[in-house]
Amino acid sequence: MTYLIAQNDDPELLEWLAKANQFGGSFISSIARAGLVADHENYPLIRPLLIEMRKKYPAYEPSDAVKQEVRQKAHYQG
């Protein structure tokens, strides 16, 4: 199974990326897609931008229920 770098780095950011990729306008969707497909070499370059875009566009933020589920999974995996 291939894991996305964003998933290993920040599971809540991964949820934001997925939602922004699916429901965002062309600009947001393109940035989210870039974050989802970035490799180990390029992800550190785009991550600061993704963090800022997540703050600027909270409409794609995962629900509290999803955040809680992500935290629980991370706790059990860690």
Q: What is the pLDDT of residues 27-68, one digit of tens each?
A: 999 999 999 998 888 899 999 999 999 999 999 998 888 778
Residue 16 CA to residue 18 CA, distance in Å, equals: 5
Name, in order, each residue with C-beta under 8 angstroms of 67's C-beta and a sequence gap of 6 or more.
Answer: 12, 15
How many CB atoms lie under 10 A from the CB of residue 72?
10
Domain assignments of the chain as residue spans, ordered by start:
5-77
- For tokens 């390029």, name the residue: 42
Helices marked H in the chain: 5-9, 11-23, 26-37, 43-56, 64-77
Predicted TM-score of the model (pTM): 0.78
